[in-house]
Amino acid sequence: MSKIVVITSGKGGVGKTTTSASFAAGLALAGHKTVVIDFDVGLRNLDLIMGCERRVVYDLVNVINNEANINQALIKDKNCDKLYILAASQTKDKEALTREGVGRVLDELAAMDFDYIVCDSPAGIENGAIMAMYFADAAIVVANPEVSSVRDSDRILGMLASKTKRAIEGAEPVKELLLITRYNPSRVQGGHMLTLDDIQEILRTNLIGVIPESDMVLQASNQGLPVIHMAKTDVAEAYLDVVQRFLGNDKPMRFTEAVKPGFFKRMIGAIS
C-alpha cells in the first residue's frame, strides 16, 4: 500500500523542494518505488532541481483536467531507476487543484504500486499547500533555525492536525516529523541561530534530521541534481541519514556540533 508523505513548510526559501528531491531520491536509492509530485502550481521548481525541465510535456493539472493520463505525465528519473517525477503546471492557477482531482491522481499512482508518493508542497497555507497535505499519511515539516521560520512551522503543524483527511475523519493523526535545514553549529554557538533544544521546545515535534548549511546545495541545484547525489559531502550524508531514520533505522544525529579548528589553524589565527 502506498504511503503519502508531504514535505511542507510555513516559510518559503527554507530548502523544502531541495528536501523533496533528495528525500524522494533517497527512498528510491533504498529500493523503494517512489514518485515525487510538485504541487507548486505557477512556479514549478522541482523539475529544475531534478534536471528534467526539458522533458516535461504534461503536468499534474493536465492529469487532473483529463488532458493527459498519468503515464503520459510521469517522467522517469535518469539517476534512480525506481524514481519518477510529476511536474507542476507553470501556466495554470493554483485553484486548478481540486480535492477530487488530487485524490484521483493519488489513487491512480497507488494502483501503480508506488511504495511512496512524496508531495512537494508550496510554502504557507494557500490552496496548493492544503491540497498537498490533505491526503498525507506522514509530514516532514522543514524549518530553518530562525524565529520566523519556526513560528510559521508551528502554524503548519496546526493545519496538519486540523485540515487533513485524517484529522477530519478522526483517524490516526498524520505522523509529524521535523527537519532542520541550513544549520550552522558555529552560528548557533555564537547565538545567531536557535539551538535544536530551543526549536524542539517550541514545536515539540520529533526531529528526523539536521541538514548542515552547505554551498553544495546551490552547486547541485545548478547541475539539476538532487544534493543527495553529491557523494561523501556532509549535506548528502545528512539526507541519507534522514531517509534511513524515516525507514525505521537507527542513525545518530550528525553535523550538530561546531568543528573545532585544528592546531595549525589555531596557530595561524593567533599569529594574525
pLDDT digits (tens, 9 = 90+) for 206-251: 999 999 999 999 999 999 999 999 999 999 999 999 999 999 999 9
DSSP string spanning 146-191?
SHHHHHHHHHHHHHHTTSSHHHHHT-SPPEEEEEEEEE-HHHHHTT
CB 46, CB 120: distance < 8 Å: yes
What is the pLDDT at residue 272?
Answer: 47
CA atoms within 13 A on the CB side of 123: 18
Using pLDDT thresholds of 50, 70 and 90, give the confidence band for residue 263: very low
> Sheet containing 75-76: which strands, arranged edge to edge?
75-76, 83-86, 34-38, 116-120, 3-8, 138-143, 175-183, 206-212
Q: Which secondary-structure segment (H or E) carries 264?
A: helix 263-271
CB 78, CB 44: distance < 8 Å: no
Q: What is the rounded CA–CA span in Å between residue 240 and residue 246?
A: 10
CA angle in degrees (0–180, nearest 5) for 141-41-247: 35
Q: What is the pLDDT of residues 29-52, one digit of tens each?
A: 999 999 999 999 887 899 999 999
**Grid cell for residue 241:** 541519514
What is the pLDDT at residue 216?
Answer: 95
Per the prediction, the chain carries an average pLDDT of: 92
pLDDT for residue 271 is more than 70: no
Q: What is the rounded CA–CA span in Å between residue 18 and residue 193?
A: 21
pLDDT for residue 270 is more than 60: no
* 236-241-244-249 Cα dihedral, nearest 10 degrees: 160
Percent of the chain scored above 90 by pLDDT?
Answer: 84
